[in-house]
Amino acid sequence: MDPHREPGDPPKLLAAAGAVAPPGSGYPPPRRGRGLLGTLAVFLGVLAGLALVVVLGCVGLFGVLGYSGDSSLQVVHHSGNKSAPDKIAIISVDGAIYDAEYRFVEKQFKAAREDRAVKGVVLSVDSPGGTISASASIHRLVKKYREEQAKPVIVSMQSLAASGGYYISAPAHRIFAQPTTMTGSIGVIAIFPNLHGLMDKLGVQVEVIKTGPLKDAGSMLRDMKPEEKERWQEIINDGFEQFLGVVIDGRKDVGLDREKVLALANGGVYTANEAVKNGLVDELGYLDDAIAYAERSAGVSDANVIEYKQPFSFLQLLLGQASSSAPHRGDSAGDLAALFQLGSPKIMYLSYPMLAPPGRN
């Protein structure tokens, strides 16, 4: 008990801040402060808990909505009679044609093959083209589906279906183009960056040890030698011959032989009207016109028109990567790989409309 406090009086506060009351004095023991580190730890713990709640809640929400991170496709009703037993499938090629786009198109064709209710396919193309490898792979998918499934494959060109975009369209039974479509650009291109002048200004030298004179042909670190240009031109010409063969084979029913295709293969793009006039496109029309033609060709009417969507990945959302393509690594290894890819020669079925206007040689 406090000797200075009468019985019944309220306890007195300690006068000195931080003073410690003696045992048995009746004063409550002082509380120990957590300190800055303790407070920070509590704050971070609360934030971590809230983040976990948000993540778990979003996982549940995306699960309810049907989104996932797997590689399957979502079948989405596009138009027509949703309850109809027969289907027309829209397969989309949207953007530059690289390996990621090829894999997505491959999944779409696989889904259309496995669905017996699908009676025909409309290939919606909006692409400036891309690598010769990815373009050839998608071309093979289109041609294989047409031959093995014996079902109509109709192309609907959107704003741009040039170079590789036309390459993949050629095997279709019929090609529609919107009145504003740009198409054609039959040709091959390879671009080789040359940093030689910059390297000289920076005083950077590179020593290359190789086993043959053409091992580093096309290197961006020096000027290209005449024999290297000659070799690359041979490779370009081989890709061009393949392109010509694809167009001739795909458009032989409308009378495009090698001579006519060669006359059109100046690398430039054509308007939709020009493409129809020259036999590269069958008729002007929009996506719904192509769908209606696919229905008539398949002998169905009022079909359930479907399309395929890449499932939304919650993991990609967390990483800020909502694209359907492969995620960027975002680390030093990925940056280094991108640098090497920049300097690697690429043979492309790719259109540069501003550099090659229609009709210009």
Catalytically active residues are 163, 215
Residue 7 and residue 49: Cα distance in Å, rounded? Answer: 49
Residue 232 and residue 227: Cα distance in Å, rounded? Answer: 9
* Chain centroid, CA 174 distance in Å: 26
* Chain centroid, CA 11 distance in Å: 75
Residue from 243, 92, 263, 95 nearest 166 by CA: 243
Q: How many CB atoms are closer than 10 A to CB 124?
A: 21
Q: How many CB atoms are closer than 10 A to CB 211?
A: 6
Query: Positive or negative, the Cα torsion across 16, 21, 26, 31?
Result: positive
Long-range contact set of residues 337-346: C-beta below 8 Å, sequence gap at least 24: 342/193, 342/220, 343/193, 343/219, 343/220, 343/221, 345/190, 345/192, 345/218, 345/232, 346/131, 346/190, 346/191
Long-range contact set of residues 195-204: C-beta below 8 Å, sequence gap at least 24: 195/220, 195/221, 196/221, 196/222, 196/223
Whose tokens are 């006359």? That residue is 263
Q: Is 315 within 8 Å of 202 (Cβ atoms)?
A: no
Whose tokens are 């509590």? That residue is 42
What is the DSSP-derived secondary structure letter of residue 97?
B
Question: Strand 269-271 to strand 182-184: parallel, antiparallel, or no bridges (unpaired)?
Answer: antiparallel
Burial grade of 304 (CB within 10 A; 0-12, 13-18, 19 or more): buried
